[in-house]
Amino acid sequence: MARKKIIAGNWKMNKTPSEAVALINELKPLVANDDVDVVFCVPAIDIIPAMEAAEGSNICIGAENMYFEESGAYTGEISPAMLTDVGVKYVVLGHSERREYFAETSETVNKKMLKAYEHGITPIMCCGETLEQREQGVTMDFIRQQVKVGFLGITADQAKTAVIAYEPIWAIGTGKVATTEQAQEVCAGIRACIAEIYDDATAEAIRIQYGGSVSAGSAPELFAQADIDGGLVGGAALKPDFGKIVNYK
């Protein structure tokens, strides 16, 4: 059975609540496509108004992060129960910006993965290499480590529902896009890693996105690759062009 494409917008730290509502109302007719899963991962303060604006459409609202504890003295954090209470189904975990600017590690990402599954939230777990790592020839070594640690303690049945987003750090927000061959090679390597951890059936079921300056122009060729099941889209998700990415065929 073919994997359904999942195309997610990662809004990052953009859009006030009122701006979020306006953008969703603008994008709703442009992203109408039942052949793919469409997810908008928005800042925490935007989640509730975004949910209300997206009601009745094919847009699913996700979060950009969450903490791995249920509640407590964690000022500024958001818990999984807070997300599920308003209907959040997806959460981005381990984005390179979280790892770089907020000292997240593969170990803390793993704690968040486990907690997300406890609450029935689908993780979109990010992995990717720096330009220096690519030039040193250690891309797959580094990404395999991120994947193996990230999925520690996750069952095969849980893993089958996960989304992995491969984002070469050197291509995020730079306008540089990995070549189709580079993106497919790494996504195939990630699928092989999942097969090693679990089995072929799990590897075949899991959805792997490409992210990193995805555009309306690059999407059709990228998404046609055997191991690329959609995209995690940054800047282009904040523009009408996101509709072209969702309707890439």
Q: What is the mean pLDDT of the chain?
A: 96
For 218-232, write each residue's pLDDT tens digit: 999 999 999 999 999
Residue 113: CA count within 13 A, CB half-sphere: 28
Residues in the chain: 249
* Phi, psi dihedral angles at 129 (to 5 degrees): -110, 160
Per-residue pLDDT at 1 exceeds 70:
no
pLDDT at 175: 77
Report whether pLDDT(202) > 80: yes
Partners of 126 in the beta sheet?
165
In the chain, the percentage of residues whose pLDDT exceeds 70 is: 100
Counting Cβ atoms within 10 Å, is residue 123 exposed (0-12), middle (13-18) or buried (19+)? buried
> Which tens digit of pLDDT belongs to each residue from 23-36?
999 999 999 999 99
pLDDT in tens, 44-99: 999 999 999 999 999 999 999 999 999 999 999 999 999 999 999 999 999 999 99
pLDDT in tens, 117-140: 999 999 999 999 998 999 899 999
pLDDT of amino acid 156: 98
Domains of the chain: 6-246 (3.20.20.70)
Tell me, what's the pLDDT at 121? Answer: 98
Q: What is the pLDDT of residue 241?
A: 93
Q: Would you state the pLDDT for residue 171? A: 84
8-state DSSP, 249: -
For the entire predicted model, the pTM comes to 0.96
By annotation, the residues acting in catalysis are: 95, 167
